[in-house]
Amino acid sequence: MKKVGVAILGLGVVGGGVYEILTKKREFLIATQGVDISVESVLEVREDRIRELGVPAGKVAANIAEAVCNPDVSAIVECIGGVDAAREYVLDALHAGKTVITGNKELIAKYWSELERTAKTHNAGLYFEASCVGGVPIIRTLNDGVQANEISCIMGIINGTTNFILSEMTEKGVSYEDALAHAKSLGFAESDPSADVEGYDAAYKLSILSSLAFHTKVPLAKVFREGIATVTAEDILDGKALGYRLKLLAIGKREGNTVEVRVHPAFVKENHPLAAVDGSFNAVYLRGDAVGEMMLYGRGAGSLPTASAIVSDIVFAATHGEHRYATFKNTASPDRDIKFTADFSGAYYLRLTVSDEQGVLAKLAAILGKYGISIAELRQTSAGGGASKLFLVTHGTHETAIRSAVSKLHATDFAKVESVLRVC
Q: Express each pLDDT in 117-172 by its tens digit.
A: 999 999 999 999 999 999 999 999 999 999 999 999 999 999 999 999 999 999 99
pLDDT score for 301: 87
Active site residue 205: yes
Tell whether pTM > 0.85.
yes
- SS3 readout for the chain: CEEEEEEEECCCHHHHHHHHHHHHCHHHHHHHHCEEEEEEEEECCCHHHHHHHCCCHHHECCCHHHHHHCCCCCEEEECCCCCHHHHHHHHHHHHCCCEEEECCHHHHHHHHHHHHHHHHHCCCCEECHHHCCCCCCHHHHHHHCCCCCCEEEEEEECCHHHHHHHHHHHHHCCCHHHHHHHHHHCCCCCCCCHHHHCCHHHHHHHHHHHHHHHCCCCCHHHCEECCCCCCCHHHHHHHHHCCEEEEEEEEEEEECCEEEEEEEEEEEECCCHHHHCCCCEEEEEEEECCCEEEEEEEECCCHHHHHHHHHHHHHHHHHCCCCCCCCCCCCCCCCCCCEECCCCEEEEEEEEEEECCCCHHHHHHHHHHHCCCCEEEEEEEEEECCEEEEEEEECCEEHHHHHHHHHHHHCCCCEEEEEEEEEC
pLDDT reported for residue 334:
94
Per residue in 91-114, pLDDT (tens digit) is 999 999 999 999 999 999 999 999
Model pLDDT, residue 187:
86
Question: What contacts 24+ positions apart, CB below 8 Å, involve 361-366?
Answer: 363/412, 363/414, 363/415, 364/390, 364/409, 364/415
How many other C-beta atoms are found inside a 10 Å radius of the C-beta of residue 255?
10
Cα–Cα–Cα angle for 185, 190, 193, rounded to 5 degrees? 115
Is the pLDDT assigned to residue 287 strictly greater than 90? Answer: yes
The dihedral formed by the CA atoms of 196, 198, 201 and 204, expressed in degrees to the nearest 10? 180
CA distance 53 to 149: 44
Average pLDDT over residues 344-354: 96
| pLDDT value, residue 288 | 98
Encode 129-163: b = buried (16+ Cβ within 10 Å), e = exposed: bbbbbbbbbbbbbbbebbeebebebbbbbbbbbbb
Q: For residue 402, what pLDDT band results from cuts at 50, 70 and 90?
A: very high
Confidence band, pLDDT 50/70/90 cuts, at residue 386? confident
Task: Tell me whether strands 258-269 and 224-225 are parallel, antiparallel or unpaired.
Answer: parallel
Q: How far apart are CA 35 and CA 25, in angstroms?
A: 11
At 218, the amino acid letter reads: V
What whole-number distance in Å separates Cα of residue 34 and Cα of residue 50?
Answer: 29
From the list 205, 217, 222, 247, the catalytic residue is 205
Mean pLDDT for 242-253 is: 96
Say if residue 409's pLDDT is above 90: yes
Residue 383, pLDDT above cutoff 90: no
| Domains observed in the chain | 2-131 (3.40.50.720), 138-298 (3.30.360.10), 345-423 (3.30.70.260)
What is the arithmetic mean of pLDDT over 269-284?
94
